[in-house]
């Protein structure tokens, strides 16, 4: 492993270069360039260039992140890509005002939802436990499971967007019930997050906000 103070990424815009970051980087198996691409130099983008994001890029991201673990291998995340102007126009009224302009301009917007009936696929996805589908017969429990595991998958997806060399702009500021009615009227899907995807445009982000330290969030017994 290489890395440590003076490693290639030090001083690059958007890279964390504090002493703590330097020390940790060299202890990881993941190379420094990948650390930067996925975490250290990666930022939530608020502006995007006009360069399109094509279906093959999205498929490549999915093909990578689908290997991330979910309980019972259930994979409840579903992704609705809004490409057409008409579809985008249907979304915008549900966004908080601060999210509208950037979403209208982003090359691609993904609506991320959990399939609350994901258990129907378990006989194929978890075949060595044929009774797994029945474990999720209770809809309330199942919705909680769908939400939790789809959210884990959203974590993988945001990393996957970065793995493709793109920037993600996750947005929680929207009327989720409205988006659900508009795009998932079947009652089978719960909308969790919107994500703009593209290449960062001018002034795509402000200064990196502070992060909590290990001492603040990790305890040992």
Binding residues among 89-118 for a copy of itself as defined by CB under 8 A: none
**64 binds a copy of itself per the rule CB under 8 A:** yes
Report, in Å, the least distance between residue 105 CB and a copy of itself. Answer: 18
**Counting contacts by CB under 8 A, is residue 8 touching a copy of itself?**
no
Window of 5-13, 49-57, 99-107, 196-204 that interacts with a copy of itself by CB under 8 A? 49-57
Query: For residue 149, what is the DSSP state?
Result: H
Residues in the chain: 221
* Residue 51 binding a copy of itself, by CB under 8 A: no
Report CA torsion sign: 9, 15, 16, 18. Answer: positive
Q: Does 10 bind a copy of itself (CB under 8 A)?
A: no
Residue from 12, 31, 52, 96 in contact with a copy of itself (CB under 8 A): 31
Provide the mask over 116-155, with x wherever binding to a copy of itself is found by CB under 8 A and - wherever it is not.
Answer: -----x--xxxxx----------------x-xx--xxxxx
Cα angle 165, 48, 111; round to 5 = 80
Selected range binding a copy of itself among 4-12, 99-107, 196-204, 206-214, rule: CB under 8 A: 206-214
Answer yes or no: are the C-beta atoms of 167 and 42 closer than 8 Å: yes
Q: According to the binding rule CB under 8 A, does residue 56 interact with a copy of itself?
A: yes
What's the angle, vertex CA 200, arms to CA 199 and CA 206, rounded to 5? 160
Binding residue for a copy of itself, selected from 9, 116, 136, 192, defined by CB under 8 A: 192
187's torsion region: left (phi>0), alpha (psi -120 to 50) or beta? left
- Near a copy of itself by CB under 8 A: residue from 17, 30, 50, 101: 30
For residue 123, give Cα distances in angstroms to 137, 139, 150, 157. 14, 18, 19, 25
Task: Tell me the closest approach of the beta carbon of residue 202 to a copy of itself, in angstroms.
Answer: 19
Token code pair at residue 219: 């305890």
The helix/strand/coil state of 208 is coil
């Amino acid at each position: 492993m290489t890395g440590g103070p003076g490693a290639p990424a030090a001083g690059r815009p958007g890279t964390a270069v504090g002493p703590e970051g330097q020390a940790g980087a060299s202890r990881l198996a993941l190379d420094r360039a990948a650390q930067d691409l996925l975490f250290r130099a990666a930022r939530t983008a608020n502006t995007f260039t006009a360069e399109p994001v094509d279906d093959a890029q999205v498929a490549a991201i999915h093909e990578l992140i689908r290997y991330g673990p979910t309980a019972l291998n259930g994979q409840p995340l579903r992704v609705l890509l809004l490409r057409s102007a008409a579809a985008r126009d249907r979304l915008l009224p549900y966004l908080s005002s601060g999210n509208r302009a950037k979403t209208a301009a982003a090359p691609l917007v993904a609506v991320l939802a959990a399939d609350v009936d994901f258990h129907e696929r378990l006989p194929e996805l978890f075949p060595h436990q044929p009774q797994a589908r029945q474990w999720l017969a209770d809809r309330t429990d199942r919705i909680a499971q769908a939400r939790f595991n789809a959210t884990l998958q959203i974590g993988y997806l945001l990393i996957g967007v970065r793995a493709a060399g793109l920037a993600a702009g996750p947005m929680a500021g929207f009327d989720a019930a409205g988006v659900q009615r508009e795009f998932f009227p079947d009652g089978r899907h719960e909308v969790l997050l919107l994500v703009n995807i593209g290449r960062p445009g001018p002034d795509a982000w402000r200064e990196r906000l502070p992060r909590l330290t290990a001492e603040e969030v990790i305890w040992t017994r």
